Amino acid sequence: MEDIDLQQKLKEVFGYDTFKGDQEAIIRSVLAGNDTFVIMPTGGGKSLCYQLPAMICSGIAIVVSPLIALMKNQVDAVRYTSGTRCVAHFLNSSLTRVQVKEVKDDIAQGGTKLLYVAPETLSRDDTVDYLSSLAISFFAIDEAHCISEWGHDFRPEYRRLRQAIDAIAAAQARRAAAPRHIPILALTASATPKVQQDIIRNLQMENAKLFIASFNRPNLYYEVRPKPDDALTLHKEIIRFIKDNSGKSGIIYCLTRKRVEELASLLQLNGIKALPYHAGLDNKVRADNQDRFLMEDVDVIVATIAFGMGIDKPDVRFVIHYDIPKSLEGYYQETGRAGRDGGEGKCIAFYSDRDVEKLYKFFSDRPPTEQELANQLVQEMVSYAESSVCRRLNILKYFGEDYNEPSCGNCDNCLHPKPQVPARDEMVHLLETVSAMKQAFKTKDVVDVLMGRSNSHTKPYRHNLLEQFGSGTDRGDAFWKAVIRKALFEGLLLKEIETYGILKLTPAGQRYIKSPYDLSVPCDHDYTLEMDDYYPDGGASAAGDEALYAQLKSLLSDIAQREGRYPYVIFADTSLKDMTIQYPCTVEELSRCTGVGIAKAQAYGAPFVELIKRYVEENDIDRPQDIVVRSAVNKSRIKVSIITSTDSQIPLDDIARANGLTMPALITEMEHIIDSGMKINIDYHIDANIDPEHQDVLLDYWANSPDGSIEDALDEFADDPDYTEEELRLMRIKFLTAYGENADN
């Protein structure tokens, strides 16, 4: 078996030209009959490490995988790499008795190469009996970290795998003349040394060949952006980002369910196909939303961290962290869901001091040791966010990996090193200010004093009488925050965790005031102004012909819908993009596109080839294609503004003026918002402007109006000039918000 041409097999079955990372060595290890242990980050290509040898070996590979919900999907993906032959099946508790029988009957026909089994199913006696009757090529244990209590997803059933495997081997040995060692391949993306130890001990794989891949994901772009204090600015920035990346799949992580819901609605309102996902949603809704994301029916999932475990959508193009995550490991896992196919993956985290304080508060009612651990994790996240050093280097260092490149070329700090300005005197000034404020205040208050701004502490603590009050206005907030960060970094100041961030001088800080040394701080970036040219371009992942790409994508989506499969199971995004470069006009040519392979080309290629052929004929391919740029007037901005402004109870006249609308036009906009299922609370305006008796009469009218028609209402009140059209319509909005279909319950 040693001299088998694996590369050719790879091309034939999966359509790839080259192996990724250690794949080939891993596969050879399995083929040689070794127990093999693979640690590879998400997106590294673990599945292929058992799928390809399974196709080559005689017998069936048993794949243990914890996620029943995803098993069907995984099996479909392999099935269709091999054309119409059913080479993969699964057994788990979701199957009916009849379905189980069908699976077993088909396996009895021969030809099955992979059998996915849920861990709890594998340890059942009847499964052990059944499996010991099969010729097993090897066992693959996916997500092997589930074995360890130290892992982030412990599953007790995983601890019984070894027993089941032994029982199967023993039963086979009793029957066979020459008993054979059945190799085990364990795979995981979770790498802490403690978890590794647990896996090896529990599966008794002490002699296994070990493959530990680098955790570097060169295709992921990391960026930390300062989080604007006001929600409107932040939301604008996020919406703009998504629109700049329209048509691409993305995930936005928020800390709370409430925020998830709000942001998802806001995005919908802005014409973005977005859905929420969190553990509080009804199971069915949650599963549907996830499915629609995988089906590419929606582009964006707004989620708590409940979303993502086992999501193997390969073409997620961005992951945004609306709130700063609780740990760097969590951040790495969540961003890891971007760009699994090796293509573009933009990872943007929004960061603000206030969020960090919120996190500390969030943990404050935990038992002391747990709290300490949690705070430590947050602190590591904070140093990552505030660092001006390469993000990748920071992350890899965290996982104990060396990274010696001078620049990764794919993170904000490497692409746009922040220019430094000298800040020795300013540092002294800051430390003196903290001291003058009796070391009893947080960053925000210190900056307020420097900027001469009053807040609730100013009067009681007489901050306005300090000589430092208003002394820093020539530099601005961002500068002083940078000086404070630098002071923390240099150990001149200390942020007290118990008090959620009160700044204290350290002995080094005291010394610095007396004998300062030269230091500089990074000038803060104005991210919003530079957003357009901020990213590295998509590079190799870009489609060659956007117009054709769009058509192929829509064809794929239609076929996927019809077949009830996820689009990427049929053709990966990278394959579509390659088609727009190669213009394959025969199934044979198509099979040479990346990620396609002969079987897939034959099973699915025909309509694609036809489309491309027609496209090539209809267009002069040598001539660069015109890209149609759609420029719609952006009404959604106005809607967001109306919602957030009414939320803050801003007078309607002011809202109208700010958006360049007349009052009737504003009311029309609000009616559209209500029609789209949102609510607008304008009680503050109504109570101040509409006579209470009128309110009662009109509420009563709308409650009894059969269809809510404004025309009818105008007719009804035509004789009564006391009731204005404005009143009628505003009360209708109130009614629909409070009692309409939009209302809760």
> Residue 408 interacts with Zn ion (CB under 5 A)?
yes
Q: Binder to ligand ADP among 223, 329, 341, 727 (CB under 6 A)?
A: 341
Interface with Zn ion (CB under 5 A), residue total 5
Which residue, 23 or 123, has its beta carbon nearer to ligand ADP? 23
Cα gap 440→491, rounded to integer Å: 17
> Residue 250 interacts with ligand ADP (CB under 6 A)?
no
Q: Binder to ligand ADP among 113, 340, 463, 486 (CB under 6 A)?
A: 340
Which residue, 388 or 641, has its beta carbon nearer to Zn ion? 388
**Rule CB under 6 A: which of 565-594 touch ligand ADP?**
572
* Helix axes of 368-386 and 391-398: crossing angle, nearest 10 degrees: 150
> Residue 411 interacts with Zn ion (CB under 5 A)?
yes
Site stretch for ligand ADP (CB under 6 A), options 42-50, 91-99, 236-244, 685-693? 42-50
Cα gap 182→199, rounded to integer Å: 18
All residues at 6 or more sequence positions from 57 whose CB lies less than 8 Å from its CB, including other chains: 31, 113, 137, 138
From the CB of 486, what's the least distance to ligand ADP, in Å?
39
* Helix axes of 663-675 and 636-647: crossing angle, nearest 10 degrees: 90
Residue 667 corresponds to which tokens in the numbers above?
A: 């009311």
> Residue 116 interacts with ligand ADP (CB under 6 A)?
no
Cα gap 651→689, rounded to integer Å: 11
Q: Binder to ligand ADP among 46, 235, 337, 639 (CB under 6 A)?
A: 46
Q: Binder to Zn ion among 89, 337, 340, 392 (CB under 5 A)?
A: 392
From the CB of 42, what's the least distance to ligand ADP, in Å?
4
The SS3 call for residue 184 is strand
Site stretch for Zn ion (CB under 5 A), options 188-196, 287-295, 411-419, 468-476? 411-419
Instruction: Give the CA distances from residue 409 to residues 108, 343, 402, 737, in Å, rounded to whole numbers and listed in that order.
Output: 53, 15, 17, 50
Interface with ligand ADP (CB under 6 A), residue total 17
Site stretch for ligand ADP (CB under 6 A), options 39-47, 55-63, 262-270, 381-389? 39-47
> Residue 395 interacts with Zn ion (CB under 5 A)?
no
Residue 414 interaction partner, one of Zn ion, ligand ADP, none, beta carbon < 5-8 Å per kind: Zn ion
From the CB of 23, what's the least distance to ligand ADP, in Å?
6
> Residue 66 interacts with ligand ADP (CB under 6 A)?
no
> Residue 16 interacts with ligand ADP (CB under 6 A)?
yes
Which residue, 190 or 410, has its beta carbon nearer to Zn ion? 410
Residue 689 corresponds to which tokens in the numbers above?
A: 């402007």
Q: Binder to ligand ADP among 40, 60, 64, 411 (CB under 6 A)?
A: 40
Which residue, 187 or 274, has its beta carbon nearer to ligand ADP? 187
Q: Binder to ligand ADP among 35, 237, 312, 412 (CB under 6 A)?
A: 312
From the CB of 418, what's the least distance to Zn ion, in Å?
13
Cα gap 207→27, rounded to integer Å: 17
Q: Binder to ligand ADP among 6, 9, 12, 20 (CB under 6 A)?
A: 20
Contact 652, 685 (CB under 8 A): yes
Contact 315, 571 (CB under 8 A): no
Which residue, 162 or 337, has its beta carbon nearer to ligand ADP? 337
Q: Which residues of 388-411 are buried (b: 16+ CB within 10 A; e: fewer)?
A: eebbbbbbbebeeeeeeeeebebb
Q: Please give the full DSSP string across 354-369, using - where no structure is assigned.
A: HHHHHHHHHHTTS-HH
All residues at 6 or more sequence positions from 270 whose CB lies less than 8 Å from its CB, including other chains: 239, 636, 637, 639, 640
Residue 308 interaction partner, one of Zn ion, ligand ADP, none, beta carbon < 5-8 Å per kind: none
Beta bridge partners of 696: none
**Helix (H) or strand (E) run with residue 214 in it:** none
Contact 282, 290 (CB under 8 A): no
Residue 392 interaction partner, one of ligand ADP, Zn ion, none, beta carbon < 5-8 Å per kind: Zn ion
Q: Which stretches within 453-571 are classed as H helix?
A: 477-490, 507-514, 527-530, 546-563, 567-570
**Helix (H) or strand (E) run with residue 140 in it:** strand 136-141
Cα gap 476→478, rounded to integer Å: 6
Q: Which residues bind Zn ion (CB under 5 A)?
A: 390, 392, 408, 411, 414
Using CB under 6 A as the criterion, which residues of the chain lie in contact with ligand ADP when the complex forms? Answer: 16, 19-20, 23, 40, 42-48, 312, 314, 340-341, 572
